[in-house]
Amino acid sequence: MFSLPLNTLLNKLAVVAGVLFISAFLLFGLNWGISNSAATRADSRELAEALVGWSPSDPQTHYAAAVFAARDQNDEARKASLAGFETAVALAPRNYLIWTEYGRALERAGETDRATLAFDRASELAPNYSSVAWARGNFLVRQGRVDAGFVEIRRAIKGAPSYAAAAAQLAWVSSGLNAERAVQFAGNDPSLAAALALVLARAGDLDRASELWRRVPGELRKTDLKDPGLQLARLFFDGGRYRGALDVEVGTLGKASSVGAFRDPGFEEPIATDNSGLFDWKLGGGTNPSMNLFDTVKRSGKYSLFLRFAGAGDQQSLRQLSQSVAVEPGAKYQFVYRYRAELTTSPDIRWSVAAIRSKEALADGPPLRTNADWAEESLSFVVPGDTDGVTITLRRDACTGTPCRTDGNLWLDDLELIREN
């Protein structure tokens, strides 16, 4: 084994010097590590500034102190913040995060030319970072360079679609509430187009919202942008634009449905209890009758809908079945329904049709027979010219005396809407 002889003064001094150097190096490393870690967790300006004294050569401590100083709204704090950022970028000239925050601090101080250079430098260092593109784009918008700003903002959204909602609001405000101009800011980015469609729909411009939504690729409507699509369909529905709502919802959910037709007229799919689909079958409140798909008694297909009435009495406990249907304004339709019944009921059960928005009654069918083996009956109605949506409901007449009770079984299958003009 190699060993260093210690029998001379020179060798002894060399060993002592080596030990001191190693100790200093370790102490510096420990000092830097502690201060750097603490700087990232500092929770006050005082602590951050103390850490600068502990490790003045660490850019992280200067950065933390500058960030905290920027939060104080006074001239002294602003100057301290700028000084801290200047030191930090000098110590870490390739740190994009420090340059980004430095740009924000310069903008707050009114030094927009220097802020532009700082944001440009951050973008050069991190050209593919969405957070940098977002910060730079917003800065450019605030400086009146809106078109250039939205080039950056669209770059940010491409990497981080979560920015889309805020970007859509910014586009709307920056356009001066001008839909055409806002649409130009959206460019060809699908996430921003979807978010802006929601903004325009909430502002009442459903036509432009529909046009913008059509720009979104079909596959994205069913996957990444499904939630905005469902929100947009609801806005159309609540705005009384039922054909538009159906168009958006079909493209989002992919469910087979068309204007003037039932969705799942043969009850081949389970009825969702959350009533989520705007044009799905819906179950009203109450607990009676129970409703289930039935595969042994049916008219066609795999199933019918089986309703089991078990002594339904007052109206509050009676569950209704309904579906909203998009239709053509002014059109005349025939509603054909088929059913099998083994019922005892007073009062009567019947189908009815009403306009969705106004609740105007358009037609009531005759009472269902209490005993029938796949009876086929129909009723006709005319859609008012000022609406394109109706609700078709299976209901029981109001109780006017006693008895008020329904017992027995009812099967429904193969419902149909036929336009007559």
Do 158 and 94 reside in the same domain of the chain?
Answer: yes
Q: Are 218 and 246 in contact (CB under 8 A)?
A: no
Residue 116 C-alpha from the chain's centroid: 33
CB atoms within 10 A of CB 131: 16
15-35: per-residue pLDDT in tens? 334 433 333 333 334 343 433
Q: Could you report the per-residue pLDDT of 328-360, keeping only the tens digit for each?
A: 999 999 999 999 999 998 889 999 999 999 999
Residues 309 and 236 in one domain: no
Section 150-160 average pLDDT: 97
Q: Distance between CA atoms of 64 and 45, rounded to whole angstroms? A: 8
Q: How far apart are CA 95 and CA 111, in angstroms?
A: 21
In single-letter form, the type of residue at position 119 comes to F
Instruction: Extract the runs of DSSP E, i.e. beta strands, from 197-303.
Output: 281-283, 290-294
pLDDT winner (highest mean) among 38-47, 75-84, 202-211, 315-324 = 202-211
| CA dist., res. 104 & res. 137, Å (int) | 12
Looking at the fold, whether 302 and 185 belong to one and the same domain comes out as no
Residue 163: inside a domain, yes or no? yes
- Which of 81-85, 102-106, 162-166, 322-326 comes out lowest in average pLDDT? 81-85
Q: What is the model's pLDDT at position 37? A: 41
Q: Are 91 and 69 in contact (CB under 8 A)?
A: no
Q: What is the pLDDT of residue 57?
A: 58
pLDDT at 41 over 70: no
Taking phi first (over 0 means left), then psi (-120 to 50 degrees means alpha), and beta for anything else, what does residue 380 get? Answer: beta
| Greatest pairwise CA separation for the chain in angstroms | 121
More confident residue, 58 or 298: 298
The total domain count for the chain is: 2
Shared-domain flag, residues 409 and 334: yes
All residues at 6 or more sequence positions from 113 whose CB lies less than 8 Å from its CB, including other chains: none
Backbone angles phi, psi at 411, to 5 degrees: -115, 135
Residues 301 and 220 in one domain: no
Residue 419, helix vs strand vs coil: strand
What is the predicted pLDDT for the residue at 401? 75
Please count the other Cβ atoms lying within 10 Å of the Cβ belonging to residue 91.
17
Q: Give strand pairing partners of 376.
A: 338
Residue 404 binned pLDDT confidence (cut-offs 50, 70, 90) = confident
The span from the CA of 122 to the CA of 125, in Å, is: 5
Tell me, what CATH number does 208's domain have?
A: 1.25.40.10
pLDDT at 54: 52
Hey, is 71 helix, strand or coil?
coil
**Has residue 60 got a pLDDT over 80?**
no
Enumerate the H helices of 43-189 as residue ranges: 45-54, 59-70, 75-91, 96-108, 112-125, 130-142, 146-159, 164-174, 179-186
Establish if 4 belongs to a structural domain: no
CB neighbours of residue 351 within 10 Å: 24
Q: Looking at residue 297, which CATH number applies to its domain?
A: 2.60.120.260
- From residue 394, alpha-carbon distances to 44, 63, 303, 350 in Å are 65, 68, 19, 6
For 360-369, what is each residue's pLDDT tens digit? 999 999 999 9
Same domain, yes or no, for 210 and 355? no
Find the mean pLDDT for residues 82-94: 86
What is the pLDDT averaged over residues 391-409? Answer: 88
On whether both 96 and 242 belong to a single domain, the answer is yes
Percent of the chain with pLDDT over 70: 83
Instruction: Indicate if 126 and 168 belong to the same structural domain.
Output: yes
pLDDT tens digits, 246-282: 999 999 988 888 999 999 999 999 988 776 789 999 9
Separation of alpha carbons 364 and 333, rounded Å: 13
Kindly state whether residue 24 falls inside one of the protein's structural domains: no
Confidence tier at 399 by pLDDT (50, 70, 90): confident
Across 43-58, average pLDDT: 54
Confirm whether 191 is domain-assigned: yes
Model pLDDT, residue 25: 32
Same domain, 139 and 37: yes
If asked whether residues 181 and 312 sit together in one domain, one would say no
285 shares its domain with 236: no
DSSP string, 339-402: EEEEEEEES-EEEEEEETTT--EEEEPPPPPSEEEEEEEEEEEE--TT--EEEEEEEEPPP-SS
pLDDT for the residue 21: 35
For position 316, what pLDDT does the model report? Answer: 57
Percent of the chain with pLDDT over 90: 67
For 290, the 3-state DSSP assignment is strand
Confidence of residue 164 (pLDDT cuts 50, 70, 90): very high
* Rounded average pLDDT over 198-221: 95
pLDDT at 50: 53
The answer to whether the bond into 403 is cis (omega within 30° of 0) is: yes
d(CA 103, CA 317): 64
What's the pLDDT at 63? 74
Mean pLDDT of the chain: 86
Strand, coil or helix: 408: strand
Does residue 46 lie in a domain region?
yes
Q: What count of residues does the chain have?
A: 421
Q: Are 184 and 218 in contact (CB under 8 A)?
A: no
Cα(81)–Cα(45) distance, integer angstroms:
10
Question: Using CA atoms, how far apart are residues 229 and 197, in angstroms rounded to an integer?
Answer: 9
**Does any domain span residue 371?**
yes
- The answer to whether residue 367 sits within a structural domain is yes
Chain CA centroid to CA 293, Å: 33
Query: 66 and 128, same structural domain?
Result: yes
Res 389: pLDDT: 98
Of all helices (H) and strands (E), which one includes residue 212?
A: helix 206-213
Count H helices and E strands in the chain, helices first.
Answer: 15, 10
Domain that holds residue 78: 31-253
One-letter amino acid at 205 equals D
Residue 220 lies in a domain: yes
Listed residues 235, 253, 271: the one ending a domain: 253
| Tokens read off for 236 | 């159309």
Nearest to 360 by CA among 380, 331, 389: 389
